């Protein structure tokens, strides 16, 4: 995939699409890990009466898979400047940022109350990095909308279904058909 020129208004959207593909793959991997852990521990959880925990793991798995699939499938439309895809991904990224920042605040409160082990420090650091990455995607999407508007894009990627003027069809003269 080639990089747009510096003065191209779709450059931030192309960068956002690349980030979205990477995040989408990461979310699919995390969804697979959640699915594996749910399948592996489902019998143990059900024996302990913890079917609610298994359901929560299933919901988390569905959220990871659903978000990853949405990010992967709409990245191409974002790159082409489709407004519906940009708005959809702004909303999805905003929800993920809210979720990640909630985890960062909770981790910070845990640090001040009980201290932190090595594993908790790694997870907390990953949450902080995740919040920075998702914030970058949101910034690129907003900047892409702004640059498209400055460039005078009126349709924001919505192509008309019917051409503006119908094409004229000229009949073939009989001398050229061999008659």
| 11-25 residue pLDDT tens | 888 899 999 999 999
* Residue 178 belongs to some domain of the structure: no
* Residue 166 belongs to some domain of the structure: no
Those residues whose C-beta lies under 8 Å from the C-beta of residue 148, and which sit 6 or more positions away, are 9, 10, 13, 81, 156
Give per-residue pLDDT as tens, 26-85: 889 888 887 777 677 667 766 666 667 667 777 888 888 999 999 999 999 998 888 889
Which stretches of 80-117 are DSSP H helices?
83-114
At residue 71, the pLDDT reads 92
* Residue 167 belongs to some domain of the structure: no
* Residue 141 belongs to some domain of the structure: yes
Domain count, the chain: 1
Which of 7, 12, 2 has its CA nearest to residue 136? 12
* Residue 176 belongs to some domain of the structure: no
Give per-residue pLDDT as tens, 79-124: 888 888 989 999 999 998 888 888 888 878 877 787 777 777 787 8
Q: What is the pTM of this model?
A: 0.70
* Residue 171 belongs to some domain of the structure: no
Coil, helix or strand at residue 78: helix
Q: Work out the burial of residue 12: count CB atoms within 10 Å of its CB; fewer than 13 is exposed, 13-18 middle, 19 or more buried.
A: buried
Determine the structural domain holding residue 23 and report its residue range.
11-150
* Residue 3 belongs to some domain of the structure: no
Question: From CA 150, how far away is CA 136, in angstroms rounded?
Answer: 21
């Amino acid at each position: 995939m080639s990089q747009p020129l510096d003065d191209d208004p779709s450059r931030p959207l192309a960068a956002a699409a690349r980030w979205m593909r990477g995040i989408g793959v990461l979310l699919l991997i995390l969804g697979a890990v959640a699915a594996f852990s749910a399948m592996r521990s489902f019998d143990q959880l059900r024996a302990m009466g913890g079917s609610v925990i298994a359901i929560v793991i299933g919901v988390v798995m569905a959220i990871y898979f659903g978000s990853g699939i949405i990010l992967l499938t709409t990245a191409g439309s974002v790159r082409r400047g489709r407004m519906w895809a940009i708005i959809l991904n702004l909303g999805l990224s905003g929800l993920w940022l809210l979720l990640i920042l909630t985890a960062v605040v909770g981790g910070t409160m845990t640090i001040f109350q009980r201290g932190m082990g090595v594993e908790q420090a790694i997870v907390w650091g990953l949450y902080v990095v995740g919040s920075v990455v998702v914030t970058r995607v949101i910034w690129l999407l907003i900047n892409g909308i702004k640059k498209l508007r400055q460039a005078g894009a009126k349709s924001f990627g919505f192509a008309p279904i019917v051409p503006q003027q119908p094409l004229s069809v000229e009949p073939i003269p009989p001398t050229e058909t061999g008659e």
